[in-house]
Amino acid sequence: MRTPESRKQRGMAVIMALLIVALATTAASLVLWQQGLWWHQLDNDRNRAQLRLVADAGLGWAMEILRFNNGAAGNGVVALSQLWAQPLPQTEAQGVTVSGRLSDLQGRFNLNSLVQNGQTNARQLVFYKRLLTTLGLPTRLSEPLVKQLRGGKDPEDASQPAGEGRPPEPGAAQPGNPLLRVEMLRWLPGYTPEVLDKLLPHVAALPADVSQININTATPAVMKTLLPGVGEGNLLVLLNQRKVNYYKDANDFKARLPAPGIIADTDIAAASNYFMLDSSARLERARLEMRALIYSNMNVVKTLWRQDGAARPPPARGNGNQNDNA
């Protein structure tokens, strides 16, 4: 005859057995989940490694095209009708989808040219203010930028010690140094997201001594600033004309203007040395966005910097010219 105590012990044993089974099932499920997570992570790492190889190949493709254009194919000219300016359409091969495009950064205004050897370049400053006006932005935006490039000195005050005043935000351009990326503008007063949306497609951050604007690739806003005396109709004619019959040099450009004396006081050319490559590659759920600054001059074609990262919004475009935020 079973006593109440023995029945109680038997019931506890059954409960303990059920708990052990439940714990074992949970542990097994956890192990399987962790194993599945590990395999998923391994698969993602493999996909990302493959995408980096694709991005490397895309960079090599871009550099070869620029090297080709430096030869007889380009005839010493960089124009939108040439092979380098044709985008690589979205292409799929073995599960990988890839696309890319080169942009000429000398078709934009070089912000670093505002200050050379610690001194404000008056000609470039006038042009930048006119560009701001063309874009419907206040010309006072030039002041914090010039001050930053001058090492914390106001444009009118050459005696102010460098670094005086509020220190720059972390990640911003350091006083006295040129901008490394145009995105560094966001740390300067007045350069709001709305301002940057309008401005970034038309400016670049290149070495300070690069002041020439390529009239064959200049963005519409830069071209309008370059030709303050030309009407909208004539401007459109000039923009369309260069697509089929590019300008061979500065003199050729001036000879085709509808009227003499309408060009702004700035340096112009028909060739370029700095290009931006934007490419995107996708494999299953993995995606890689790659951006690279390329220097191209005769037999020298090299990558100055490269940035791999997450997806970004597509760049603005206008009149056949790619305008990237570079």
Percent of the chain with pLDDT over 90: 52
Q: Does the pLDDT at position 293 exceed 80?
A: yes
Considering only residues 166 and 260, tell me which one the structure prediction assigns the higher pLDDT.
260
pLDDT at site 254? 92
Instruction: Quick: pLDDT tens for 38-49.
Output: 555 656 667 677
pLDDT at site 310? 53
pLDDT at site 198? 97
Give the mean pLDDT of 59-84. Answer: 92
Give the mean pLDDT of 253-272. Answer: 89
Q: Does the pLDDT at position 171 exceed 60?
A: no
pLDDT at site 260? 72
DSSP state of 245: S
Q: Are strands 286-297 and 300-309 parallel, antiparallel or unpaired?
A: antiparallel
Average pLDDT score over the chain: 82
DSSP state of 311: -
The span from the CA of 307 to the CA of 293, in Å, is 9
**Spatial contact of 98 and 88, defined as CB atoms under 8 Å apart:** yes
Q: Are strands 109-110 and 203-204 parallel, antiparallel or unpaired?
A: parallel
Distances (CA, A) of 226 to 29, 124, 164: 68, 12, 35
Considering only residues 325 and 223, tell me which one the structure prediction assigns the higher pLDDT.
223
pLDDT at site 322? 42
Q: Does the pLDDT at position 164 exceed 80?
A: no
pLDDT at site 168? 45
Considering only residues 34 and 302, tell me which one the structure prediction assigns the higher pLDDT.
302
Instruction: Quick: pLDDT tens for 105-129.
Output: 999 999 999 999 889 999 999 999 9
Considering only residues 242 and 177, tell me which one the structure prediction assigns the higher pLDDT.
242
Considering only residues 162 and 285, tell me which one the structure prediction assigns the higher pLDDT.
285
**Sheet strands (E) in the chain:** 88-93, 96-104, 109-110, 115-116, 119-120, 203-204, 213-214, 268-269, 274-283, 286-297, 300-309, 316-318, 321-323
Cβ neighbours for 34, distance < 8 A, ≥ 6 positions apart: none
One-letter amino acid identity for 313?
A: P
pLDDT category of residue 159 using cuts at 50, 70 and 90: very low
Top-ranked range on mean pLDDT: pick from 2-6, 71-75, 281-285, 307-311? 71-75
Q: Does the pLDDT at position 313 exceed 90?
A: no
Inter-helix orientation angle 122-134/142-149, to 10°: 150
Whole-model pTM: value is: 0.77
Instruction: Quick: pLDDT tens for 71-82.
Output: 888 889 999 999
Instruction: Quick: pLDDT tens for 125-155.
Output: 999 999 999 999 999 999 999 999 998 766 5
pLDDT category of residue 18 using cuts at 50, 70 and 90: low
Strand partners, 317: 322
Query: How large is the C-alpha radius of gyration of the chain?
Result: 29
Q: Exposure pattern of 288-318 as b/e (b: 16+ CB <10 Å)?
A: bbbbbbbbbeeeebeeeeeeeeeeeeebbee
